[in-house]
């Protein structure tokens, strides 16, 4: 009798235990799948590169800790080094720039900067408005920004304005990039870098990237006075630029806190039309009441050497970057009254760290130059291994 | 709604919830959830096609009732007039009944197969175009399934279904509508109508089977399809080495695509408590072509065997030919006696495969595919004594392992030859493929071409590793035919069991071909 009672008591217990175990196992499985998928999406299969590292790095910075944010395309992170500007003038800055970043993305980037920082000045390099219509609509130019932005209304707005394919994939990039496993090449060095940045809580080189090459122009290099002609912009770029400028006005943005610039390039017959479109952009920007400064061509004050300071006609190498950054940081300090904000102990420690790292970055570039190598110098694992050694020295 | 889409996953989940949460007091109507789900699934595929399935369902249902009524009336009449009728009169009456039933079944077959044939061949025969006039989802599969039912009723092996909606479920059951397996009424129907409670083990097994099917289809077949599609779109541009590579890759792709799809179907059905028949039994381990066809698309093979092969082989015409050979001078020789014995079956096999070829579509390449398979089987049966004599002469033990391996390899090569017809866009191009495979082998050129087929080195290595993996899994199954890998897994510790599920899910998520960057292929057999 007792035995039977014991058995009947035991049965529901066993059943309950089985159910509990199943629930635990199923929950663990779902969690494991979600965590793995998130990890792969965030660090491995997201096609990581210097754009990923730079934009994610922006979001790692403390809120309201930035004096200047420099928005634009590849020109920006090649020409401007935030670490060097900090060393020269003591203000904090960051390049919110991606390869092929178009003017269509500017509104969202502006909103994102406003959401996370309260900079004294937001600078827009206008290359993104020179692109043709095809470039404006290119999915990759949109994705380099959206893939690395956190999910919020600004991202939704940009996806809705720019996405030409399945919008779900912009919010769940895993759907898009899961197949990247067969074509990862050297992306692993960026994956490691992304994980290191995440663990550290900030990046060390603040998103710079150069190539260790010196371009030697083979055709005539135009001087500024020869480049007065104004070539109209492509339709979509013009519309997007005007929409953005109107948006700034509608939002009552203080015009003294916005600056449009053109960084130095080598202007030859190959890219003269881009310069001429830049002239039209200057007119448009000014017509809306915003300031525009061009540092194009052979500005003797900056002292750019067209035979040494660029790695191609559009982009500076580390030599050009040093010259331009030093010039531009002081220029901002003198003309826009950019004074360093007060940083917390921790923030100061982090920014102070960028100085030896930028110095080591320069040395690393010089070393590769002297060896005749051609590498992409940026904050990826392979470069940082060398840079770390130089810092330790 | 593809079986590999998120939509389908949600659809199955919703159907599952509706089915298993169905009020217990109305459990006998649980099957209505499956019927509703099947029609929703069909409507998702294209509401414009619903008329076709409704026509087949209605015509077959009514024909079934009609035949049963004829049989019933006949039985009643014979019972009533048991003493009044002579044996001869009874026989005559029975024959008349049979003739009427034959007329009904013939009419149903002509009507339904007529629609199928019209859609498949009208464009080619009457409009001078190529391909199907309309690709109606699952028309081949539900037509074959329904016609099997009507023939079974004609043969009095199953009673007619009296509930139209129940019959509609049998015809339209959503896990099998796209590409089978072709169900047999006596095996499937009762399972569909019986109320099933949620069973955790069934769910787990079904889920694993779905996962396995998704991996085969999305990770292996769809990757291989990228290269195959590149070749078939520019067939003339490639040399013999690439074409040979493509045919071998096609063997992997077709098997993974079709069996993967069937695994998903069977897995979904299993969750609902329904066991659908196996459609594949490691076909590439077959030792001859006949065995291959008994292991490949088993449900179609069974259908043809039951409803075409036996009636043909046992038909008066075939048996008469056999008898005449036996009576002839040639029939008194050993060879003659053998031929007389096996001619009806071998000729019936030829006809069956000719029909299988035609079923694939209105293209000469499919006719050639059917004739090729039929001829090989026919020759193998007719020449069996000669082959056995050769083996004896060469002192080869037909059961030894090396000879078995040789037979498996030989069968695989014969299967590959058949695939050339299938993979080539037309009969002419299949002939060109044969010529180039034999006359234009150049490894260096082939390597260059293969690396340009849309699959990089890593993807090609993945396919090679997958093929080896599938081979190993199949070899394990082949050695333990009575059990499944899932049943074997059940005996392992929890960490291994759950680990396998985790790896399976991640493998599908990461290695699967999906998303807007890819153009995932439809299931190959869905087009037939």
pLDDT 10s digits, B33-61 = 999 999 999 998 888 889 999 999 999 99
Q: Is residue A310 helix, strand or coil?
A: strand
Q: Are B193 and B29 in contact (CB under 8 A)?
A: no
Nearest Cα of chain B lies from the Cα of A141 at a distance, in angstroms, of 16
Q: Which is more confidently placed, B528 or B72?
A: B72
Q: Is residue B5 helix, strand or coil?
A: coil
Contacts of A22 in chain B (CB under 8 A): 200
Contact assignment for A176 to B509 by CB distance below 8 Å:
no
pLDDT of residue A299: 64
Place of tokens 């009524």: B69
Q: Is residue A292 helix, strand or coil?
A: strand
Contacts of A170 in chain B (CB under 8 A): none
B332 confidence band (pLDDT: 50, 70, 90): confident
Nearest Cα of chain B lies from the Cα of A75 at a distance, in angstroms, of 29
Place of tokens 């004096």: A67
Substitution target from B510, B511, B512, B513 for chain A, most A beta carbons within 10 A: B510
C-beta atoms surrounding B272 within 10 Å = 25
Cα end-to-end distance, chain B, whole Å? 17
Q: Is the pLDDT of residue A12 over 90?
A: no
Q: Is the pLDDT of residue A261 over 80?
A: yes
Q: Which residue of B has its CA nearest to A31?
A: B502
pLDDT of residue A358: 97
Contact assignment for B516 to A28 by CB distance below 8 Å:
no
Contacts of A385 (CB under 8 A, 6+ apart): none
Contacts of B505 in chain A (CB under 8 A): 29, 33
Nearest Cα of chain A lies from the Cα of B510 at a distance, in angstroms, of 5
Closest CA to B447 of B438, B436, B460: B460
Q: Give the Cα separation of A374 and A358 in Å (integer).
A: 19
Nearest Cα of chain A lies from the Cα of B515 at a distance, in angstroms, of 6
Q: Determine the average pLDDT of the residues in A40-52.
A: 92
Q: Which residue of A has its CA nearest to B503?
A: A33
Q: Which residue of A has its CA nearest to B512?
A: A179
Q: Which residue of B has its CA nearest to A182?
A: B458
- The dihedrals phi and psi of A134, each to the nearest 5 degrees, come to -60, -40
Contact assignment for B512 to A175 by CB distance below 8 Å:
no
pLDDT 10s digits, B270-301 = 999 999 998 999 999 999 999 999 999 999 99
Least confident interval from A68-72, B306-310, B339-343: B339-343
Q: Determine the average pLDDT of the residues in B199-206.
A: 92
Q: Is residue A93 helix, strand or coil?
A: strand
Q: What percent of chain A has pLDDT over 90?
A: 73
Contacts of B148 (CB under 8 A, 6+ apart): B182, B184, B185, B303, B306, B307
Q: Give the Cα separation of A120 and A339 in Å (integer).
A: 9
Q: Are A283 and A208 in contact (CB under 8 A)?
A: no
- The size of the A-B interface in CB pairs under 8 A is 48
Contact assignment for A169 to B498 by CB distance below 8 Å:
no
Nearest Cα of chain B lies from the Cα of A179 at a distance, in angstroms, of 6
Nearest Cα of chain A lies from the Cα of B150 at a distance, in angstroms, of 45
Q: Which residue of A has its CA nearest to B501?
A: A29
Q: Determine the average pLDDT of the residues in B380-407.
A: 90
Contacts of B132 (CB under 8 A, 6+ apart): B119, B120, B123, B361, B362, B527
> C-alpha distances in angstroms, A131 versus A166, A311, B223?
24, 21, 36
Domains and CATH numbers, chain A: 45-392 (3.40.50.1110)
The residues pairing with A71 across neighbouring beta strands, listed in sequence order, are: A96, A124
Contacts of B459 in chain A (CB under 8 A): 182
pLDDT 10s digits, B117-152 = 888 888 777 777 767 666 778 888 999 999 999 999
DSSP sequence for B326-378: HHSTGGGSHHHHHHHHHHHHHHHHHHHHHHHHHHH-SSHHHHHHHHHHHHHHH
Substitution target from A32, A177, A180, A184 for chain B, most B beta carbons within 10 A: A32
Alpha carbon B9 to chain centroid, angstroms: 24
Q: Is residue B308 helix, strand or coil?
A: helix
B84 confidence band (pLDDT: 50, 70, 90): confident
Helix pair angle (B494-511, B200-214), 10° resolution = 40
Q: Give CA angle at B515 (B512, B519), nearest 5°.
A: 85
Domain map (residue ranges) of chain B: 6-196, 199-280+424-528
ipTM for this model: 0.81
Q: Is the pLDDT of residue A46 over 70?
A: yes
Q: Give the Cα separation of A75 and A39 in Å (integer).
A: 31
Nearest Cα of chain A lies from the Cα of B176 at a distance, in angstroms, of 28
- The dihedrals phi and psi of A200, each to the nearest 5 degrees, come to -75, -35
Contacts of A181 in chain B (CB under 8 A): 458, 510-511
Q: Is the pLDDT of residue A222 over 80?
A: no
Contacts of B517 in chain A (CB under 8 A): 176, 179
Q: Which is more confidently placed, B86 or B205?
A: B205
Q: Determine the average pLDDT of the residues in B382-407.
A: 90
Contact assignment for B516 to A176 by CB distance below 8 Å:
yes
Contacts of B501 in chain A (CB under 8 A): 29
Give the 3-state DSSP-derived string for B464-516, with helices as H, strands as E and coil as C: HHHHHHHHHHHHHHHHCCCCCHHHHHHCCCHHHHHHHHHHHHHHHHHHCCCCC
- The dihedrals phi and psi of A111, each to the nearest 5 degrees, come to -65, -40
The residues pairing with A123 across neighbouring beta strands, listed in sequence order, are: A70, A259
Q: By the CB < 8 Å criterion, does A254 face chain B?
A: no
Q: Is the pLDDT of residue B520 over 60?
A: no
pLDDT of residue B517: 57
Q: Give the Cα separation of B258 and B221 in Å (integer).
A: 9
Tokens read off for B459: 């993807």
pLDDT 10s digits, B410-421 = 999 999 999 999
Q: By the CB < 8 Å criterion, does A39 face chain B?
A: no
pLDDT of residue A117: 96
Contacts of A142 in chain B (CB under 8 A): none
Q: By the CB < 8 Å criterion, does A174 face chain B?
A: yes
Contact assignment for A22 to B200 by CB distance below 8 Å:
yes
Contacts of B509 in chain A (CB under 8 A): 33, 37, 174, 178
C-beta atoms surrounding B472 within 10 Å = 10
Helix pair angle (B50-80, B139-154), 10° resolution = 0
A1 confidence band (pLDDT: 50, 70, 90): very low
pLDDT of residue A9: 57
Contact assignment for A181 to B513 by CB distance below 8 Å:
no
Contact assignment for A29 to B498 by CB distance below 8 Å:
yes
Q: Determine the average pLDDT of the residues in B2-31.
A: 93
Tokens read off for A293: 């400064």
Q: Which residue of B has its CA nearest to A36?
A: B506
pLDDT 10s digits, B111-121 = 999 998 888 88
Q: Is the pLDDT of residue B522 over 80?
A: no
pLDDT 10s digits, A125-155 = 999 999 999 999 999 999 999 999 999 999 9
Tokens read off for A325: 């950054």
Q: Give the Cα separation of A208 and A226 in Å (integer).
A: 32
Q: By the CB < 8 Å criterion, does A34 face chain B?
A: no
The residues pairing with A378 across neighbouring beta strands, listed in sequence order, are: A209
- The dihedrals phi and psi of A292, each to the nearest 5 degrees, come to -135, 130
Q: Which residue of A has its CA nearest to B222?
A: A179
> C-alpha distances in angstroms, B498 versus A27, A167, A253?
11, 33, 56
Place of tokens 């590149």: B230
Tokens read off for B176: 């099998």
Contact assignment for B510 to A181 by CB distance below 8 Å:
yes
Q: Give CA angle at B222 (B424, B443), nearest 5°.
A: 55
Contacts of A182 in chain B (CB under 8 A): 455-456, 458-459, 462
Stretch (H or E) spanning A97 = strand A93-97
pLDDT of residue A230: 86
Q: Give the Cα separation of B450 and B238 in Å (integer).
A: 9
Q: Which residue of A has its CA nearest to B509?
A: A178
pLDDT of residue A199: 96
Substitution target from A38, A165, A179 for chain B, most B beta carbons within 10 A: A179
pLDDT of residue A362: 97
Cis-peptide into B181, omega within 30 deg = yes
Least confident interval from A248-252, A357-361, B359-363: B359-363
The residues pairing with A68 across neighbouring beta strands, listed in sequence order, are: A93, A121
C-beta atoms surrounding A190 within 10 Å = 25
Contact assignment for B456 to A40 by CB distance below 8 Å:
no
Cα end-to-end distance, chain A, whole Å? 83
Q: Give the Cα separation of B164 and A305 in Å (integer).
A: 87
Substitution target from B517, B518, B519, B520 for chain A, most A beta carbons within 10 A: B517
Q: Are B175 and B42 in contact (CB under 8 A)?
A: no
Tokens read off for A299: 């500005």
How do beta strands A209-211 and A376-378 pair? Answer: antiparallel
Contact assignment for B509 to A37 by CB distance below 8 Å:
yes
pLDDT of residue B245: 95
Going B258 to B260 to B265 to B266, the CA torsion angle's sign is: positive
For chain B, the average pLDDT equals 89
pLDDT 10s digits, A328-355 = 999 999 999 898 989 999 999 999 999 9
Alpha carbon A20 to chain centroid, angstroms: 48
pLDDT 10s digits, B461-481 = 999 999 999 999 999 888 887
């Amino acid at each position: 009798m007792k035995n039977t009672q014991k058995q009947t008591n035991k049965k529901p217990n066993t059943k309950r235990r089985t159910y509990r175990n199943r629930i635990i196992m199923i929950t663990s499985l779902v969690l494991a799948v979600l965590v793995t998928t998130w990890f792969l999406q965030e660090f491995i299969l997201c096609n990581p590169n210097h754009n990923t590292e730079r934009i994610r790095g922006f979001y790692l910075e403390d809120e309201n800790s930035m004096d200047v944010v420099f928005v634009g395309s590849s020109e920006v992170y090649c020409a401007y080094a935030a670490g060097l500007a900090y060393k020269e003038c003591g203000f904090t800055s960051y390049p919110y720039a991606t390869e092929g970043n178009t003017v269509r993305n500017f509104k969202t980037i502006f909103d994102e900067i406003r959401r996370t920082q309260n900079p004294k000045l937001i600078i827009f390099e206008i290359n993104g408005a020179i692109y043709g219509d095809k470039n404006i609509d290119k999915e990759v130019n949109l994705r380099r920004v959206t893939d690395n932005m956190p999910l919020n209304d600004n991202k939704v707005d940009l996806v809705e304005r720019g996405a030409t394919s399945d919008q779900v994939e912009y919010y769940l990039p895993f759907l898009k990039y899961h197949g990247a496993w067969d074509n990862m090449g050297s992306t692993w060095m960026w994956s490691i870098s992304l994980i290191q940045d995440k663990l550290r809580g900030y990046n060390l080189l603040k998103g710079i990237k150069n190539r260790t090459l010196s371009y030697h122009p083979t055709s005539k290099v135009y001087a500024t006075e020869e480049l007065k002609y104004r070539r109209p912009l492509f339709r979509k770029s013009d519309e997007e630029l005007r929409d953005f400028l109107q948006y700034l006005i509608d939002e009552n943005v203080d015009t003294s806190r916005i600056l449009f610039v053109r960084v130095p390039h080598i202007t030859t017959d190959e890219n003269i039309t881009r310069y001429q479109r830049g002239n039209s952009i200057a007119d448009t920007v000014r017509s809306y009441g915003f300031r525009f400064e061009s540092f194009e061509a052979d500005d003797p004050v900056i002292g750019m050497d067209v035979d040494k300071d660029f790695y191609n006609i559009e982009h500076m190498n580390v030599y050009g970057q040093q010259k331009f950054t030093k010039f531009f940081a002081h220029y901002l300090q003198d003309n826009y009254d950019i004074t360093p904000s007060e940083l917390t102990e921790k923030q100061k420690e982090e920014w102070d760290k960028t100085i030896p790292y930028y110095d080591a970055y320069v040395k690393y570039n010089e070393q590769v130059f002297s060896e005749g190598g051609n590498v992409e110098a940026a904050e990826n694992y392979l470069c940082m291994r060398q840079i770390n050694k130089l810092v330790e020295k | 709604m593809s079986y590999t889409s998120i939509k389908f996953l949600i659809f199955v989940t919703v159907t599952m919830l509706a089915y298993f949460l169905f009020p217990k007091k109305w459990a006998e109507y649980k099957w209505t959830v499956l019927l509703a789900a099947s029609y929703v699934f069909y409507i998702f595929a294209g509401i414009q096609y619903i008329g076709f399935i409704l026509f087949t369902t209605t015509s077959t249902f009514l024909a079934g009732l009609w035949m049963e009524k004829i049989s019933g009336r006949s039985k009643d009449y014979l019972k009533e007039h048991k003493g009044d009728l002579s044996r001869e009169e009874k026989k005559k009456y029975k024959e008349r009944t049979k003739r009427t039933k034959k007329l009904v079944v013939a009419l149903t077959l002509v009507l339904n197969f007529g629609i199928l044939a019209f859609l498949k061949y009208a464009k080619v025969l009457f409009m001078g175009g190529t391909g199907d006039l309309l690709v109606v989802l699952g028309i081949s599969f539900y037509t074959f399934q329904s016609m099997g039912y009507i023939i079974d009723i004609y043969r009095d092996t199953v009673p007619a279904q009296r509930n139209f909606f129940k019959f509609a479920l049998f015809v339209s059951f959503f896990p099998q509508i796209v590409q089978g397996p072709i169900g047999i009424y006596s095996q499937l129907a009762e399972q569909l109508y019986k109320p099933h409670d949620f069973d955790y083990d069934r769910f787990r097994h079904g889920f694993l089977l779905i996962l396995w099917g998704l991996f085969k289809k999305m990770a292996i077949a769809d990757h291989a399809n990228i290269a195959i599609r590149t070749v078939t779109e520019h067939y003339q541009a490639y040399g013999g080495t690439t074409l040979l590579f493509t045919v071998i890759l096609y063997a992997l792709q077709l098997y993974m695509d079709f069996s993967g799809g069937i695994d998903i179907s069977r897995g979904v059905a299993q969750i609902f408590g329904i066991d659908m028949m196996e459609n594949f039994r490691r076909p590439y381990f077959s030792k001859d072509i006949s065995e291959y066809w008994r292991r490949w698309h088993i449900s179609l093979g069974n259908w043809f065997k039951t409803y075409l092969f036996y009636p043909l082989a046992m038909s008066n015409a075939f048996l008469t030919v056999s008898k005449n050979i036996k009576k002839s001078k040639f029939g008194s020789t050993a060879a003659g006696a053998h031929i007389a014995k096996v001619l009806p079956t071998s000729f019936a096999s030829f006809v069956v495969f000719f029909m299988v070829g035609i079923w694939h579509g209105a293209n000469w390449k499919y006719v050639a595919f059917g004739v090729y398979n039929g001829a090989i089987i026919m020759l193998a049966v007719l020449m069996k004594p000669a082959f056995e004599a050769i083996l004896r002469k060469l002192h080869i033990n037909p059961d030894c392992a090396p000879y078995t391996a040789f037979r498996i390899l030989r069968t695989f090569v014969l299967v590959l030859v058949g695939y050339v017809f299938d993979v080539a866009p037309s009969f002419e191009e299949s002939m060109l493929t044969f010529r180039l495979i034999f006359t234009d082998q150049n490894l260096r050129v082939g390597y260059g071409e293969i690396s340009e087929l849309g699959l990089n080195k890593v993807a090609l290595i993945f396919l090679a590793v997958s093929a080896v993996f599938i081979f190993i899994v199949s070899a394990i199954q082949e050695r333990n035919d009575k059990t499944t890998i899932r049943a074997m897994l059940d005996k392992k510790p929890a960490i291994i069991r759950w680990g396998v599920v985790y790896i399976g899910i991640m493998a599908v998520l990461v290695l699967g071909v999906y998303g807007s960057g890819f153009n995932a292929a439809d299931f190959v057999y869905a087009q037939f």
